[in-house]
């Protein structure tokens, strides 16, 4: 049962345009969401995160939007650059489940290709 | 800035052999997580440690064990290896006491191939 879903395996965007990557989740216990970027043969690199008490978080060219009622979040990259080409993973954790560690549940990733 | 270090980066083993993967977290990080990523799959949580104690357990086979040592590094021990254990194994670390405790920072991974 995939609790975090990224329904688009791939996305192709022109340089300078906006990239929108989508993520849906089913577990209502999730209250913290993260986006990671991954190049082949490297570990995931943290990009941006959002707590469930917010609906938007922005960091430079990256903005994450959270719609709790729809259990949906999206990552916007604008303007997109060829160096952004990578696999993007959406991940979620249940912060309020107690304890001091928050295992991540990942989606299957979306391969973003930004064409020059 | 120092990152998470994993060794070895690549490992080739035969079926039924054992393997030990090592993880050195970011300095002053007290929590370590292990994830397994099969080909074309998303990373799956295996096990985590906080302050040298196991804090959570995911879909880790009984053939696997792990521990966190006094210097906070962690080792994942895998025995009776099976073909299906071939995967990328990631270690991540975080700090439970910092303001960004929710954010896990990943190492480059160990690619295990079981022949």
In chain A, which residues have their Cβ closer than 8 Å to the Cβ of B110? Answer: none
Mind telling me how many Å the CA of A15 is from chain B's nearest CA?
26
d(CA B5, CA B92): 9
- Whether chain B has a CB inside 8 Å of the CB on A1: the answer is no
A103 → closest Cβ in B42, B56, B107: B56
Say how far residue A33 (Cα) sits from the centre of its chain.
7
Q: Do the Cβ atoms of B94 and A101 come within 8 Å? A: yes
The tens digit of pLDDT for each residue in B40-97 reads 889 999 999 988 999 889 989 999 999 999 999 999 999 999 999 999 999 999 987 6
DSSP secondary structure string for all residues of A20-38: EEEEEE--TT--EEEEEEE
The three state secondary structure string of A68-112 is: CCCCEEEEEECCCCHHHCEEEEEEEECHHHCCCCCCCEECCCEEE
Rg (CA), chain A: 14
Residue A36 has, within 13 A of its CA and on its CB side, a CA count of 25
Q: Is the separation of the CB atoms in A116 and A82 below 8 Å?
A: yes
Substitution target in A25, A104, A109 with the highest count of B β-carbons within 10 Å is: A104
Closest-approach residue (CA) in chain B for A47: B103
Encode chain A (116 residues) as per-residue pLDDT tens digits. 789 999 999 999 999 999 999 999 999 999 899 999 999 888 999 999 999 999 999 999 999 999 999 999 999 999 999 999 999 999 999 875 555 558 899 999 999 999 99
Query: How many Cβ pairs closer than 8 A exist between chain A and B?
Result: 73
- Whether chain B has a CB inside 8 Å of the CB on A40: the answer is no
């Amino acid at each position: 049962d995939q609790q975090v879903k990224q329904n688009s395996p791939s996305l192709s965007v022109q340089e300078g345009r906006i990239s929108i990557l989508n993520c849906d989740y089913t577990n209502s216990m999730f209250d913290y969401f993260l986006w990671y970027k991954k190049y082949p043969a490297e570990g995931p690199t943290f990009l941006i995160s959002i707590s469930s008490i917010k609906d938007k978080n922005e960091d430079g060219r990256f903005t994450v939007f959270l719609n709790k009622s729809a259990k949906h979040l999206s990552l916007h990259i604008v303007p997109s650059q060829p160096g952004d080409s990578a696999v993007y993973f959406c991940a979620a954790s249940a912060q309020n489940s107690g304890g001091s560690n928050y295992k991540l549940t990942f989606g299957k990733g979306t391969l973003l290709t930004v064409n020059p | 800035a120092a990152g998470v270090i994993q060794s070895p980066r690549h490992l080739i083993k035969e079926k039924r052999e054992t393997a030990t993967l090592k993880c050195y977290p970011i300095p002053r990080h007290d929590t370590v997580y292990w994830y397994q990523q099969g080909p074309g799959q998303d990373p799956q949580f295996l096990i985590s440690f906080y302050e040298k104690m196991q804090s959570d357990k995911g879909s880790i086979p009984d053939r696997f064990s792990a521990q966190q040592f006094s210097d906070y590094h962690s080792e994942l021990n895998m025995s009776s290896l099976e073909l299906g254990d071939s995967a990328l194994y990631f270690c991540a670390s975080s700090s439970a006491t910092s303001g960004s405790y929710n954010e896990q920072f990943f190492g480059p991974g160990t690619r295990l191939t079981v022949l």
